[in-house]
Amino acid sequence: MAVFTYYPMIMTVINSLFATNLTGKAANFVGVGNYVTIFSDPLFFKSLGNTFIFVAVTSVSTIALALILARLATQRLRGAGFFRTAFASTMGVSAAAASILWLFLFNPSVGLISILLKMIGFAQVNVLTNPTGAMIAVILSSVWMGSGFAFLNLLGALQSVPQDYYDVASLAGWSNWRQTWKITIPMVSPTLFFLIVVEVIGAFKTFTQIDLITGGGPDNTTNFIAYKVYQDAFNYRNIGIASAEAIVLTVIIALATWVQFRFTERKVYYQ
Amino acid sequence: MTRVKRSVHYMLLILIALLMMAPLLLGIWASLLPTTDIVAGHFTSLNISLTNYVNAIKTTPVVLYMWNSLVMSTLIMLGQFVFCTLAAYAFAFLQFRFKNGLFFAFLITMMLPFEAQIIPNFQTVRALGWLDSYPGLTIPFFTSAFGVFMLRQAFLQVPNELKEYSDLIGLGRLQFLWRIVLPYSRSTLITFGLYTFLTHWNQYLWPLITTFSDAHRPTQVGLKQLQAEDTFSNWGVIMATAILVLLPTLLILIVGQRYFRKGLNAGGVKG
C-alpha cells in the first residue's frame, strides 16, 4: 500500500515540478513550469473540453439507459430472469473485448453500422475518421459497456420499492412515465447518486476504448486526458508534463466528486 | 395487465434485449463464419463452423495469454484475500492508536486515480527488475482500499456474542478470524473474490505498459497485440479470439449474478 499507492502519489506531484531530460528522468526543478506549459497548450484544452463532453454524455446516458432497462425488467412477468441476465451481460464483457466487438461494427467495409449508414444514404462510411463520428462511436461503446453494471445496481434498488406504490399509482391513472418520475427516481435516489459519482469518475479515466477503437484520433478529438497522460509518459517520455496532467486529472475528479456531494446529495432521499 | 398490454411489453423487452445483445451476438455469429464470407458481406451465409476457433488456438498465442491472465488474476485474488482480510480484521476488531485516522487514509486512496500513480509505479517496478514478470503484474495490486472497506463492513456485522464466546473458549485472534469471522462473512467474501478476479482479468493499462513478451502478456493486451499484427485482416479469427477471451468472465457474471447484486447494493446503500 505504501510503496504502490502513497509513494507514487507523492512522486507524481514531485515529478510534475521537474523538467525531464532525454532519458526520461526528472532532472531540473522548474516549479509550476510544467503546469504553465500544459495550460498554454491549445491541445490540452481541446483534450479537456472533449473529456468533459464525453463524461457528461456518457454518464447521463448510461444511467438513463440502465434505469429504463431496470424498470422494464422488474415488471411482474414470466421470463423476467432471462431478460435480467441479458441486460446485465455487458458487465461480463471486458473493455478490450467490447472494443473489438465495436471495432467490427464500425469497420468501414464489413461493419454492420457502416452498412446501415450506407443504406440510409450517408456518403462517408468510415465513422472513425470523422471527428463527430469517432466521438459518437466512443460514447456508444462506453455506454454499452457501462450499462450492465449500472443496471445490476438499479435492479437491486428497484426490487426494494414496494409494488403497492405502483399498484396505487396505476389505479389513480398515472402513466408509466409519471410513475418512474414520481415513485422510482425518489425511491432509488441513493443508488442513483452512488452511480452518478462512480460513472463520472469512471468516465474521466476512460482508456481502453480509446486505445483500441480510435487511438485518440482523428485529429485528437477523442484524446481524453487519461489517454494523453499515457501518451505523454510512455510514447513521448515526457514524465514531467505527464505527471502535471495526471495531477490536473486528479484535482478535476476530486472537484467533480465534491460538487456532487455538495449539491446533489441534498436531493437524495434516505429512508 | 391486459393481454394486449402484456404482449406489447414482451415485444418491447425482446426488442431491447436483442439491441443490447447485438454487438455480442453479431460477434459470436461472425466468429463462426469464414472470413471470406464476412469480407464479402455474406452475413446470412450458413457456412458456420468452429474453424476460426481451431485456427485461433493453433496460430495465435491466445491460449498462452489466457493462461497468463488466469495466473495473474488468481495470484491477485489470493494476495488481496490475505492482505485485505487481515487489514479489515484490524479495523473491525482491534483497538489501536490512530485507528480512525489510518482508516481514513485508506479510504482516501479510493479517490486517487490509478493514472496518477502509474508513472512512479512503472519506475518502481522497473527498478526492482520486475518488468514483464508475474511479480510486476500482481504485487502492486495485493492491497485494495475498496476490498478492506468492503470486508470491514461485513466483519462489523459479526455479532458481539460470537467474539465473547470465542474469547471464552480461548480461541486466538487468527483462529477467531479463520473459524468464525470468515465463515460468517462467506457471501461477501465470494462477491469480493469474483469481483477481484473479474477486475484483474479485464485489466488493460498496467499490463499494456509492463509486459513486452508473449510469455507474460495477459489476454486483454493480447487482443491489442493480435489486432496490431496482420491477423487483423482475418476477421473470423480475431472475433473468435475476442469471444474466447470474454467467455470466462461472461460465465462468471451469469453464475455469480446474484452475489454481485447483493454486494453492489451493500455498497450503494449508505450506512
Q: Pull the grid cell for residue A150.
A: 449500472
Give how far B166 is from chain A: nearest CA, Å.
31
Is residue A26 within 8 A of residue A240, CB to CB? The reply is yes
CA closest to A100 among chain B residues: B242
Average per-residue pLDDT in chain B?
83
Report all structural domains of chain B as residue ranges with CATH numbers, in order of start.
60-268 (1.10.3720.10)
A115·B41 Cβ contact <8 A: yes
Least confident span in A142-156, B2-16, B256-270? B256-270
Chain A residue numbers with beta carbons less than 8 Å from the beta carbon of B208 are 211
Share of chain B above pLDDT 70, in %: 94
Which strand (E) or helix (H) includes residue A199?
Answer: helix A189-204
Chain B residue numbers with beta carbons less than 8 Å from the beta carbon of A8 are 116-121, 124
Residue B110 φ/ψ, nearest 5 degrees = -65, -25
Q: Please give the pLDDT value at position A56.
A: 95
Cis peptide before A218 (omega within 30 of 0): yes
In the block, residue with C-alpha cell 423487452: B13
Report the interhelical angle of B62-93 vs B145-155 (nearest 10°).
50
Burial class (CB in 10 A: 0-12, 13-18, 19+), A92: buried
Chain B residue numbers with beta carbons less than 8 Å from the beta carbon of A20 are none
Is residue A200 within 8 A of residue A59, CB to CB? The reply is yes
Q: Please give the pLDDT value at position A151.
A: 92
Give how far A201 is from chain B: nearest CA, Å.
8
SS (H, E, C) B86-125: HHHHHHHHCCCCCHHHHHHHHHHCCCCCHHHCHHHHHHHH
Least confident span in A18-27, A83-92, B86-95? A18-27
Rounded Cα distance, B232 and B239, in Å: 10
- Which segment, A171-180, A221-230, A259-268, is predicted with the most confidence on average? A221-230
Give how far A131 is from chain B: nearest CA, Å.
22
In the block, residue with C-alpha cell 458456420: B48
A191·B265 Cβ contact <8 A: yes
Place A270 in a pLDDT band, splitting at 50, 70 and 90.
low
* pLDDT tens digits, one per residue of A106-165: 887 777 887 788 778 776 667 788 888 899 999 999 999 999 989 988 888 888 888 888
Rounded Cα distance, A188 and A71, in Å: 11
Chain B residue numbers with beta carbons less than 8 Å from the beta carbon of A251 are none
Task: Name residues 80-139 of chain B within 8 A of A (Cβ).
Answer: 106, 109, 111-124, 139
B20·A230 Cβ contact <8 A: no
Residue B119 CB neighbour total at 10 angstroms: 25
CA closest to B28 among chain A residues: A101
In the block, residue with C-alpha cell 488456438: B57
Rounded Cα distance, B145 and B110, in Å: 6
CB-based contacts of A251-255 (< 8 A; 24+ apart in sequence) = A252/A204, A252/A225, A253/A201, A253/A204, A253/A205, A253/B111, A253/B113, A254/B111
Place B267 in a pLDDT band, splitting at 50, 70 and 90.
very low
Torsion of CA A102, A108, A109, A111, to 10 degrees: 20
Does B75 score more than 90 pLDDT?
yes
* pLDDT tens digits, one per residue of A235-255: 887 888 888 888 888 889 888
Chain A residue numbers with beta carbons less than 8 Å from the beta carbon of B232 are none
Q: Please give the pLDDT value at position A53.
A: 95
Rounded Cα distance, A249 and A66, in Å: 27
Give how far B268 is from chain A: nearest CA, Å.
5
* pLDDT tens digits, one per residue of B114-146: 777 788 888 888 888 888 888 888 888 888 888
Does B268 score more than 50 pLDDT?
no
Q: Please give the pLDDT value at position B161.
A: 85
Q: Please give the pLDDT value at position A9.
A: 67
* pLDDT tens digits, one per residue of B143-152: 888 888 888 8
> ipTM score of the complex?
0.82
Report all structural domains of chain A as residue ranges with CATH numbers, in order of start.
2-267 (1.10.3720.10)
Place B271 in a pLDDT band, splitting at 50, 70 and 90.
very low
Burial class (CB in 10 A: 0-12, 13-18, 19+), B45: middle
CA closest to B109 among chain A residues: A5
Q: Please give the pLDDT value at position A74.
A: 82
Q: Please give the pLDDT value at position A140.
A: 94
Chain B residue numbers with beta carbons less than 8 Å from the beta carbon of A103 are 227
Residue B270 φ/ψ, nearest 5 degrees = -75, 145
Rounded Cα distance, B189 and B181, in Å: 11
